[in-house]
Amino acid sequence: MRYLVTAQEMKQYDKNTIEYLGIPGPVLMERAALAAEDFLKERFDAVKERTKVLIFAGMGNNGGDGLALARLLAADGYTVAVRLVGDPEKATEQWKSQWQTLQHFPVKTDSNTQADEYNVIVDALFGVGLSRPVEGIYAEAVEEMNVAEGFKLALDVPSGICSDTGRVLGCAFLADATITFGFCKRGLVMYPGTDYAGQVHIANVGIGPESFLGQSPEMYTYDSCEQHLPDRTSSGNKGTFGKALLVAGSNGMAGAAILAARAAYRTGAGMVKVITAEENRQILQQGIPEALYGSCRQLSESLEWADVIAIGPGIGREEQARECLKKVVEKSRKPLVLDADALNLLAEENGKALAEKLHTQGAEGRVIILTPHVGELSRLLAKTIPECKKELPECGRELAERFHGVAVAKDARTIVCKEQGEFYLNTTGNSGMATAGSGDVLTGVILGLLAQGMNAIDAAVNGVYLHGRAGELAAKLHTEYGVMAGDIADCLMKDYDEKESVKK
């Protein structure tokens, strides 16, 4: 698990480390600079004589990190220059102290430095203290760094990127790599910040979980397959691994049902039954002979049969789809995944009563997982798409509260949350997954995990992670251009069976 922190959280953890744990600020700054120096030395020590480093320093402690780095590199024999940007009169105390020390080292600090004479550019203008759009001399400095040749390293956060949202405030430094201190900032993994950050390295500078003092970060992600998958007992039979009911595919939309059913099987569900339009029967049975078939008339008895239910992929918004949704809500209390047109139906004026019933069922303990993309989310919350994109975690939370369920708010960086507790931000996946049917696969994955007895939040988080990971594997085979939803389904669990973590 990797924490993703906001600027405010990071400042609090800094403060707690200094004031409560008793590690002085200058020690933290020294460790930050040492980590940055190590990072550069790893790449440039072999060509030290030819390496010329130019550090752009602002007047806050991010600039202070830059000054300390300049001193360390100069002491180590590198050619280093510092360009000050801002008024040193307004600098922080730590900055001033670093500046005084720097005077004893061979570092060029006049303003005549030409960025194109240097082959390493370090951005130490702003870190988590960025508080407004970058303009004037600061924007000019960012522009000069961006057009310069050479390797570009950002300290803590690329200047101009909002640490909390990843948004560009005015303009931003385009880094090859970012070395970030203590914890990864949210803005380094959210778009577009992640594209500006380049490769992100997290440096331990002495600010750890001890500094939380009961206030742990509100967001996290997973970097690898460290999650818990459902136990798989070797003596299990198909009943052990769950009976999953999938209501999907109106006439002509059999593909959505096939994709979701395949994904549920690939994730480990014991049995998958698909309720779909009569016209889809033949193609469904050819497309996925492993699945059981049921017509819409058999829905009530199938609800009895099922352990878990998903509804939505390709169902459309016609009367039959509405009838199916009504039955799924009114005749069952089993764990339920709502996707696609099931969500659109709930957002319609005459879906409000059903939404109200679901809200009550959620309050009474029914497991409800909603998987809207931003368009569906905007309809459900009566907000614009840009609003939903801008405030995705908050919108996810609002949806989770509305249904007392788990929200999977899908975008390039999907958010998963409950009514309370942390936000999971997913960092697996790629642009190849922005393809028709990809959402249907995700519904199947979550359904498959639920069928095996996983709780709602774990099924949603792990489902989103696995789906993204499968997309990465599919892109290795087909490139991001060539990935189709069926490839994602077929790549599910591909790299899992060798891993110890499967057995956790």
Ligand X SMILES: NC(=O)C1=CN([C@@H]2O[C@H](COP(=O)(O)OP(=O)(O)OC[C@H]3O[C@@H](n4cnc5c(N)ncnc54)[C@H](OP(=O)(O)O)[C@@H]3O)[C@@H](O)[C@H]2O)[C@@H](O)CC1
Measure the CA angle with vertex 378, ends 373 and 382; round to 5°.
155
| DSSP code, position 229 | P
CB of 159 or CB of 250, closer to K ion: 159
Q: Which among 328, 320, 326, 322 is positioned nearest to 246, based on CA atoms? A: 328
Site size toward K ion (CB under 5 A) is 4
Residue 123 contact partner, candidates K ion, ligand X, none, CB within 5 to 8 A by sort of partner? K ion
Nearest distance, CB of residue 124 and K ion, angstroms: 5
Distances (CA, A) of 259 to 247, 295, 429: 12, 18, 18
One-letter amino acid identity for 464?
V
Say whether residue 65 binds K ion (CB under 5 A): no
Distance CA 304, CA 350 (A): 26
Nearest distance, CB of residue 104 and ligand X, angstroms: 20
Measure the CA angle with vertex 35, ends 53 and 117; round to 5°.
5
Structure tokens at 340: 């696609």
Residue 205 contact partner, candidates ligand X, K ion, none, CB within 5 to 8 A by sort of partner? ligand X
| DSSP code, position 53 | E
Q: What is the end-to-end Cα distance of the chain in Å, rounded?
A: 15
Say whether residue 471 binds ligand X (CB under 6 A): no
H-only helix segments in 233-335: 254-267, 281-287, 299-305, 319-330
CB of 9 or CB of 65, closer to ligand X: 65
For ligand X, which residue of 13, 25, 299, 355 counts as binding (CB under 6 A)?
25
Say whether residue 126 binds ligand X (CB under 6 A): yes
CB of 85 or CB of 449, closer to ligand X: 85
Distance CA 131, CA 157 (A): 13
CB of 54 or CB of 368, closer to K ion: 54
For ligand X, which residue of 4, 29, 246, 433 counts as binding (CB under 6 A)?
29
Mark the segment that binds K ion (CB under 5 A) among 145-153, 154-162, 298-306, 469-477.
Answer: 154-162
DSSP for 370-415?
A: E--BHHHHHHHHT--HHHHHHTHHHHHHHHHHHHTSEEEEBSSS-E
φ, ψ of residue 12 in degrees (nearest 5):
-65, -40
Say whether residue 146 binds ligand X (CB under 6 A): no
Say whether residue 159 binds K ion (CB under 5 A): yes
CB of 99 or CB of 138, closer to ligand X: 138
Nearest distance, CB of residue 156 and ligand X, angstroms: 4
Site track for ligand X across 354-383, x = CB under 6 A: ------------------------------
Say whether residue 193 binds ligand X (CB under 6 A): no
Residue 159 contact partner, candidates K ion, ligand X, none, CB within 5 to 8 A by sort of partner? K ion
Structure tokens at 242: 């769950």
Say whether residue 123 binds K ion (CB under 5 A): yes
Nearest distance, CB of residue 204 and K ion, angstroms: 19
CB of 197 or CB of 377, closer to ligand X: 197
Distance CA 15, CA 262 (A): 50
Structure tokens at 60: 């806050």
Nearest distance, CB of residue 72 and ligand X, angstroms: 13
Q: Enumerate residues 166-185 that contact ligand X by CB under 6 A.
A: 181
Dihedral angle sign, alpha carbons of residues 95, 99, 105, 107 = positive
| DSSP code, position 503 | G
Residue 77 contact partner, candidates ligand X, K ion, none, CB within 5 to 8 A by sort of partner? none
Cβ atoms of 61 and 96 within 8 Å: the answer is no
Nearest distance, CB of residue 205 and ligand X, angstroms: 5
Say whether residue 134 binds ligand X (CB under 6 A): yes
Residue 485 contact partner, candidates ligand X, K ion, none, CB within 5 to 8 A by sort of partner? none
Burial of 345 (0-12, 13-18, 19+ CB in 10 A): buried
Site size toward ligand X (CB under 6 A) is 27
Q: Enumerate residues 221-260 that contact K ion by CB under 5 A.
A: none
H and E: helices and strands count for the chain: 18, 18
Query: Binding site: residue ranges?
Result: 61-65, 123, 127-133, 138, 156, 159, 256, 314, 373, 410-414, 439-440
Residue 23 contact partner, candidates ligand X, K ion, none, CB within 5 to 8 A by sort of partner? none
Q: Kindly give, in sequence order, each residue whose CB lies less than 8 Å from that of residue 382, ignoring residues fewer than 6 positions away.
A: none
Site residues (CB under 5 A) for K ion? Answer: 123, 154-155, 159
Site residues (CB under 6 A) for ligand X? Answer: 14, 25, 28-29, 32, 58-63, 65, 92, 126-134, 138, 155-156, 181, 205
